[in-house]
Structure 1
Amino acid sequence: MDQIEAIRRIGILLIGDELLSGKRVDKHMPAVIDLLSERGMELSWARMVGDDAALLERTLVETLAGPDVVFSFGGIGATPDDRTRQCAAAAAGVELEFNAEGRAILESKFGDEAYPKRIHMVEWPVGACVIPNPINQVPGFSLHHHHFVPGFPRMAWPMVAWVLDEYYRHLQRAERDIELMLEVLDTPESALIDLMQSVMDAHPSVRIACLPNAGGRRAIEFGVRGTPDAVRAAFGELESALSAAGVPLGERSER
């Protein structure tokens, strides 16, 4: 497994027609967000792709070409609709092979019943390595900075945790980000643009966003996210500027 020191962003690929048809609802993204947050990390992007092999291969060509850490969920079984292994190999420009370590794991678990079908679950792109599966021992695989795990949450989530701690501990931070939120009342967004921009310019290490109230009230929620000291400094300046401008303020909260 190569480690790319420049990696900072983390993305996920959610694979399967059942997600796009509505037959299944994704549970992985909230779980990954929690796993990352526990380690002082965060999710930068997510994509949902069906079982169309050409589209999946094009997606993997793009993501493999970038520096991001990518977790891919689903499509690594042995049935004909599971195409992730094949598409990953094609996108990487390598052949498929029966991984020696993966084969030993399946033979140990299933014996002769690993053949002729189950063994294809460890037919991976050349250069792939094992991600241990603590639930039923059928492994996932890593290829460069991409990590392919099953679609079953009970298996996938501890496998993601293992990858994060095994390969990306150097990206973890003891100090977790926080978000302070402030409600602005009876004020149009257009009246807040310049004020918001000035605070963002003065505090480039934090992220400031505003969201209209989803409940129908005439309110805007400002959120300031980043490391605790930087957030508190920016939030204090934002709150002071709003108060000085005579903007009515509502609830304050933290998460």
Structure 2
Amino acid sequence: MEIVRSTKLVDMRLRAINEETTSEDLAALDAALGPKQMRQARVQLAGDDLTPFVILRGWACLTRTAADGGRQIMSFLLPGDAVGFGPATKSLAGDSLWTLTPLTFRRLRSDRARYLMSRTALMRAFSGLDARHQNYQRNQILRLSRLSALRRMADLLAELAERMTEVSPPGENGVAMPLRQVHCSDALGMSVVHVRHVLKELAARGATVVENDRLLVCDIPLLQALARDGDRRAPAEPARRAPAQVEPAAAATSAA
């Protein structure tokens, strides 16, 4: 009988990256993690909470705050993610790690870290997962610097929805996300009013819907298409020039 561990979502992400990760590797990871811990939503993680951990349930984000107090979300951390196991998800000086929803996680035990590092396939999987997060952060830079508001939103939601479907199937009406408008604002450098306008535009196109205060992504391929060329429209066909009208007098002169 297959053992269902609390780290099931983490296992799925790691195995998706490195198929050579064995059941023994995953059992070693489970043994190297401490007991479940929980934090409420909108709490900054600090101190021991910054020890490498894996997310079992809930969302968090890595942020940086500007001199004027404005917050920029650098990356989102989802169920099944490993946080602090590589440079992409480590909280550096000037960074803050916040819970977006109630968060359930397990921290790496310091006395088991060395043994875990001896599991070659597992370390390759962690390295691959960290490389993914580096890619997500590069995508974030591209969004903020080169994409229009509609394309930014479509690109971010498509990426997050794809990450969620890697570890859990979408619901009947789509992929549910606990994002609020203020989260989108902090991530995409847009005002809350602008975020609301763009979300209405995406809903009108059938890509998303808000249901019971939850954002649902209904059509990932459509979001990807909008992210690729969302603001472009097919060029209008040039108007055909009407044939020149010949005055009767001129026609008579020509005929003569």
Q: TM-score band, normalised by the shorter chain? A: under 0.3
Name the larger-Rg structure. 2
For normalisation by structure 2, the TM-score amounts to 0.20
For normalisation by structure 1, the TM-score amounts to 0.20
Instruction: From the two aligned structures, give the one with the greater helix fraction.
Output: 2
